[in-house]
A and B are shown apart, each in its own frame.
Chain A
């Protein structure tokens, strides 16, 4: 895991810096190759991640991992800053493994989509650095280092939006950076309060403060005041919910998405939003299950608000990318609802939603990016009947849209159903609201699809947007096609065989809930 995290950062930085300090000749040859090298490294990492993910190859029984245990963990933490108890601990469990695999998958795909990006010798290494930071967030088990990686993801993304973004990119990137930075500093206060309630453990004793950041050994029982526990939970919620993002702190997302380059959008939607959900589950929910139960109404409210509001706003959107962005907000609301149930099925559903959305939304953004690329506009309805011009694009769009609205046999469906069932079991008729919202989702997806793919006056010609100035559009390029194709296939595969990851997710959540219940019973005086 250490390799997985540090290689891309190292290679990426090297590719960025070397041309600056080396003499001209060497520098230009490095520039020429940096795109290929980045892609190669990311593919190698993907192969490695895949190898680890499958029990048969990796030899790791992912389903058998107990709560609080991690695979591939370095049992000898490397001390980074001994005086305040920061060390390098990495490990993976069923919660983070799908995310690691997803990240490793999406990086090469998003590189592929923007294979011909201008200034590729900076673009692709930047994405590589991004990969390292994202993987770091998912595998690190030390809160300090976690926070470092959490913030580090901002910088490459900031530059991706700023340099390769649309017309309003400055505003969008500033907004993106400041929003998420503010939220995470608030989260930092929460982390610090937790930090102060950790005791000395062997191995990191002798620190200046007598505390440590290790997530593995963290025990929130040390925080005596229940009110303080709740406060920490809320501080963490602010940090993570902004990243997810949930209403009312979602407003950075549409701007960032619309302005970001395709690859940036894909990573933003595919992985960065999941960081919020992952962090929420890893830190807030698993360390403060009681607070989670207490604040269930807040979670439900936030989830519902995001779900309904996101879907409602989608209906009014005329910009394709903005619509997809709001649909992300809406889907992230479902994750909150899944967590709010505090049931194995609901949490497993939320986990699978993270994964499924991580495959589907990059597909949506890749499609939207291809529109921008080939039709130079994102207005829904300005181009019609693209099935005539770009049959591949139309096919990918259809698959992606269908998957996102939750068609059975596609990945999104599994997650939605799991969450809704669990929700029904916990809250009864409240389930009607999210269930009905799915209708709205269907409405906006279907209308936008109908307006773009079909609906032309002429049987053989679509309506072309004015932005093309009468030229014929080209069909999408091979690289876009390949990457969308892979995503599309995976959507189907995980729709039909969700158990590839769903099993370990449900196992994780079952065990988690069992642990919570057990602790609760012990508190009540029942002997285990």
Chain B
């Protein structure tokens, strides 16, 4: 039999195949029914299963959620088990790097699925409203029915996002990379706009879609220019061509610049971040969490592929160094300043994620300075990837808390968080941990990642100061400007402390508007507490060590390519 891929290749992409089968299952299973086909002229009915009135088990509105939970859990499990790496065809390559990112994406999606169980609840026995119902009850019933109806849609799209992202991390061909990004992006636009009956949801999705597609268009334009220049879009060929050319060809330079726009939008770098806060606050919290973690990680994979493996010269500074450095500083400062003034927790988290993108871009800029040794570059890359990995834990954790609040009200005002400690002490404690971790307080994982970042930048730059400088001023004037990036991160961390602490403050010290305990969303609460514990464990101790090792291996495989 001539399968499109052989078994040894299939083994490499088990998590992706699982997601594919999950996708098919989630489309097919809820449609299974009693439909049958009568063979003409006979009385024999052959069941065809698709269509007709559905079986009781397939009619269960909770089914899609369960399928997608199973899909992501098993994908995560098999992804962790996997240890063979090879290329697949011309355009995909499974490496430690891609595997790690697949895991990051799948973990984020799994959390999103858990949160959706309660955020977009399916209720089994909902009757349509009848005339005796009051208006209030009938709207509630209709809402519940709509929620039931669109369970499938949500989870199909969620799995599509996973497929797109996961394949994207394996792509070694620019075209493949772009297609996968678009698959994930388009799906995420729909997710953002999923609550289209509410004004804000539709607006957010529309805005995000328009800005995102403009960015993509610009990126594709850049890509086509790049194709014009090299005639081949595989990353290896591009890298070879790039290293052969003596100086940067203007055509190629413009092309890469245009592509930066597209990827800059994905990571939320200033000034392309403007749609992000609207999108986050309009989307439901699990989706917003997805955008802040997985989508950002996806953007960074693309950036790292383009900037580090293709256009990084063997020695000397990369042509994009200044641009990225400026963008990094602007992004982190802008994000923090905007977050300071925002009173909507979701917008605040959105801006905080913008500023986190700034920190990571600063790392990229430090690489671009071309001052670092190979080890130093690897260290910075490790810091970036480690940060992306732990973001899933504590940033998504914060969004999980918000979605817990959303299960019964809204979470777009700071007041909604008031007095959470009195209603749900464990959840509030976890949220406080997430905030501290975001701010970078030791010994939490957010500190370790920020630490590694500053570490890497200082490592690259501190050696550049004149060694015979005898006074501080002499040394500071002789050191490369990269050193100041570390300072920018430090100052910004201090700045960000204000708004992270404010959340902690209102949770513990304001009177709650509503003193009831929150709805019994057990799995969501468990996920929140698990995230909080992981935030601590990955910050210090053996677990952080093994994660760091994993990241270091991934970076090894990335650099050696």
CB of A22, distance to nearest CB on chain B (Å): 12
- Whole-angstrom distance between the Cβ of B339 and the nearest chain A Cβ: 15
Instruction: For residue A291, give the distance in angstroms from its CB to the closest CB of chain B.
Output: 9
Which residues on the B side are within 8 Å of A192 (C-beta)? 451, 454-455, 458, 486
Q: How far is the CA of A224 from the CA of B469 in the complex (A)?
A: 9
Name the interface residues of B490-512: CB closer than 8 Å to any CB of A.
490, 493-494, 497-498, 501-502, 505, 508-509
Across the interface, do A228 and B498 meet the contact criterion of CB distance under 8 Å?
no
Name the residue of chain B whose CB is nearest to the CB of A169.
Answer: B509
B467 and A152 within 8 A (CB): no
B281 to A: closest C-beta gap in Å: 25
Q: Which residue of A lies closest to B454 (CB)?
A: A192
A181 within 8 A of B: yes
CA distance A513 to B493 in the complex (A): 38
Known contacts A147-B442, A170-B509, A188-B490, A83 near B462 by CB under 8 Å: no
Q: Are B490 and A208 interface neighbours, CB within 8 A?
A: no
Our pick among A162, A209, A224 for the contact of B379 (Cβ within 8 Å) is A209
Partner of B454, one of A79, A181, A189, A224: A189
CB distance from A413 to the nearest CB of B (A): 38
Contact between B508 and A163 (Cβ–Cβ < 8 Å)? yes
* Contact of B425 with A by CB under 8 A: yes
User: Within 8 Å of chain A (Cβ to Cβ): is B474?
Assistant: yes
Evaluate contact between B501 and A174: CB separation under 8 angstroms. yes
**How many Å lie between the Cα of A230 and that of B474 in the bound state?**
11
Are B458 and A80 in touch, CB under 8 angstroms? no
B549 CB-CB contact with A under 8 Å: yes
Query: Within the assembled complex, what's the spacing in Å between the Cα atoms of A193 and B493?
Result: 18
Within 8 A of A (CB), among B411-461: 425-426, 429, 436, 439-443, 447-448, 451-452, 454-455, 458-459
- Answer whether residue A148 sits at the interface, using C-beta atoms and an 8 A cutoff: yes
**Do the beta carbons of B475 and A231 come within 8 Å of each other?**
yes
Interchain CA distance A82-B542 in the complex, whole Å? 9
- CB of A185 within 8 A of CB of B379, answer no
- Decide if B476 touches A181 in the complex (CB within 8 Å): no
A193-B458, A196-B459 known; A226-B545 Cβ under 8 A: no
Is A228 a contact of B490 with CB atoms below 8 Å? Answer: no
B354 at interface by CB-CB < 8 Å: no
Q: Is the CB of A234 within 8 A of B472?
A: yes
Classify chain A: how many residues form its interface, as a range: 35 or more
Q: Are A170 and B442 in contact (CB under 8 A)?
A: no
Q: In this assembly, does A316 line the interface, its C-beta being within 8 Å of a C-beta of chain B?
A: no
- Using CB atoms, name the residue of chain A closest to B498: A178
Question: Which chain B positions have C-beta within 8 A of A193?
Answer: 458, 462
Bound form: Cα–Cα A234–B382 in Å = 29
When the two chains form their complex, are residues A181 and B426 in contact, meaning their CB atoms are under 8 A apart? no
Question: Of the candidates A79, A148, A185, which one forms a contact with B494 in the assembled complex, judged by CB atoms under 8 Å apart?
Answer: A185
Interface set, chain A 511-526, CB cutoff 8 A to B: none
- The listed residue (B466, B490, B540) touching A80 by CB distance below 8 A is B540
Q: A147 to B444, alpha carbons, bound, how many Å?
A: 12
A181 and B462 form a contact (CB under 8 A): no
A230-B447 Cα distance, complex, nearest whole Å: 26
Contacts of A86 in B (CB 8 A): 540
Q: How far is the CA of A174 from the CA of B504 in the complex (A)?
A: 11
Are the CB atoms of A170 and B498 closer together than 8 Å? no
B463 contact set on A, CB distance < 8 A: 196
Q: Is A182 engaged at the interface, CB distance under 8 Å to the other chain?
A: yes
**A127-172 contacts to B (CB < 8 Å):** 147-148, 151-152, 154-155, 159, 162-163, 170
Instruction: Please name all residues of chain A whose beta carbon is closer than 8 Å to the beta carbon of B467 when the two chains form the complex.
Output: 224-225, 228
B465-A228 in contact (CB<8A) = yes
Q: Which residues of A contact B470 (CB under 8 A)?
A: 226-227
| Chain B residues, CB < 8 A from A231 | 472, 475-476
Asked if B49 CB lies within 8 Å of chain A CBs, one says no
> Within the assembled complex, what's the spacing in Å between the Cα atoms of A228 and B473?
9
The answer to whether the Cβ of A20 comes within 8 Å of any Cβ in the partner chain is yes
Tell yes or no: B548 within 8 A of A by CB: yes
**A residues near B493, Cβ cutoff 8 Å:** 185
Question: Does any Cβ of A come within 8 Å of B468's Cβ?
Answer: yes
Interface residues of A in 177-225 (CB under 8 A from B): 177-178, 181-182, 185-186, 188-189, 192-193, 195-196, 208-210, 224-225
Contact call A208/B486, Cβ cutoff below 8 A: no
Query: B540, A227: Cβ atoms under 8 Å?
Result: no
B497 touches A227 (CB 8 A): no
Which B residues lie within 8 Å of A234 (CB)? Answer: 472
Q: Given A83-B549, A162-B509, is A189 in contact with B490 using a C-beta cutoff of 8 Å?
A: yes
**Chain B window 522-553, contacts with chain A (Cβ cutoff 8 Å), 1 for yes, 0 for no:** 00000000000000000011001100110010
**8 Å CB contact of A178 from B426, B497, B544:** B497
Near B by CB (< 8 A), chain A positions 32-67 give none
A181: which of B472, B494, B509 is its contact (CB, 8 Å)? B494
A226-B442 contact given A81-B545, A231-B476, CB 8 Å threshold: no
Nearest-CB residue, chain B, relative to A21: B426
Interface centre among B443, B471, B502 (most CB of A within 10 A): B443
Report the minimal beta-carbon distance from A254 to chain B, rounded to whole angstroms. Answer: 20
Interface: A84 (CB within 8 A): yes
> Given the complex, which residues of A lie within 8 Å of B552, measured CB to CB?
83, 208
B487 at the interface (CB under 8 A from A): yes
8 Å CB contact of A230 from B441, B472, B497, B501: B472
Rounded to whole Å, the gap between the CB of B474 and the closest CB of chain A is 5
Q: With both chains docked as a complex, state the minimum distance between the C-beta of B546 and any C-beta of chain A, in angstroms.
A: 9
In-complex Cβ contact of A189 among B436, B487, B502 (8 A): B487
B315 contacts partner chain A, Cβ-Cβ < 8 Å: no
Task: Determine whether the beta carbon of A186 is less than 8 Å from that of B475.
Answer: no
Q: Are B505 and A170 in contact (CB under 8 A)?
A: yes
CA–CA, A202 and B10, complex, Å:
44
Query: Does A151 contact B441, Cβ atoms closer than 8 Å?
Result: yes
For residue B58, give the distance in angstroms from its CB to the closest CB of chain A. 38
Task: Check B545 against A82 for contact (C-beta < 8 Å).
Answer: yes
Contact A209 B455 (CB under 8 A): yes
Closest to A186 in B: B490
In whole angstroms, what is the CA distance A174 to B459 when docked?
32
Alpha-carbon distance A162/B509, docked complex (angstroms): 8
Write out the residue numbers on chain A whose beta carbons fall within 8 Å of the beta carbon of B501.
Answer: 174, 177-178
Taking CB atoms, residues of chain A closer than 8 Å to B497 are 177-178, 181-182
User: Given A225-B465, A225-B475 in contact, is the A178-B494 Cβ separation under 8 Å?
Assistant: yes
Tell me whether B375 is interfacial, beta carbon within 8 Å: yes
Nearest to A182 among chain B residues (CB) is B494
Contacts of A226 in B (CB 8 A): 468-471
Q: Looking at A163, A224, A228, A230, which has the most chain B CB atoms within 10 Å of its CB?
A: A228
Cβ distance B516 to chain A, nearest Cβ, rounded Å: 18
Question: What are the interface flags for B479-492 relative to A under an 8 Å C-beta threshold, 1 for contact and 0 otherwise?
Answer: 00000001100100
Cα A263 to Cα B226 in complex, Å, equals 67
Q: Note all chain A residues with C-beta closer than 8 A to B490.
A: 185-186, 188-189
Q: Are B505 and A174 in contact (CB under 8 A)?
A: yes
Within 8 A of B (CB), among A272-303: none
Instruction: Say yes or no: A163-B509 contact (C-beta < 8 A), given A182-B497, A196-B458.
Output: yes
Known: A178-B494, A182-B497, A209-B459. 17 other contacts (CB 8 A): A20-B429, A80-B545, A82-B545, A84-B548, A148-B443, A152-B442, A163-B508, A182-B494, A193-B462, A209-B379, A227-B472, A227-B473, A227-B478, A228-B469, A230-B472, A230-B475, A231-B472
Pairs across A and B, CB under 8 Å, 21 listed: A80-B541, A148-B443, A152-B443, A162-B505, A163-B508, A178-B498, A181-B441, A185-B440, A188-B454, A189-B454, A192-B486, A193-B462, A208-B382, A208-B552, A225-B475, A226-B470, A227-B473, A227-B475, A230-B471, A230-B472, A230-B475
3 tightest CB-CB pairs across the interface, nearest first? A227-B475, A227-B469, A182-B494
Residues of A participating in the B interface, judged by any CB pair closer than 8 Å: 20-21, 79-84, 86, 147-148, 151-152, 154-155, 159, 162-163, 170, 174, 177-178, 181-182, 185-186, 188-189, 192-193, 195-196, 208-210, 224-228, 230-231, 234
| Chain B residues with a Cβ under 8 A of chain A | 375, 379, 382, 425-426, 429, 436, 439-443, 447-448, 451-452, 454-455, 458-459, 462-463, 465-476, 478, 486-487, 490, 493-494, 497-498, 501-502, 505, 508-509, 540-541, 544-545, 548-549, 552
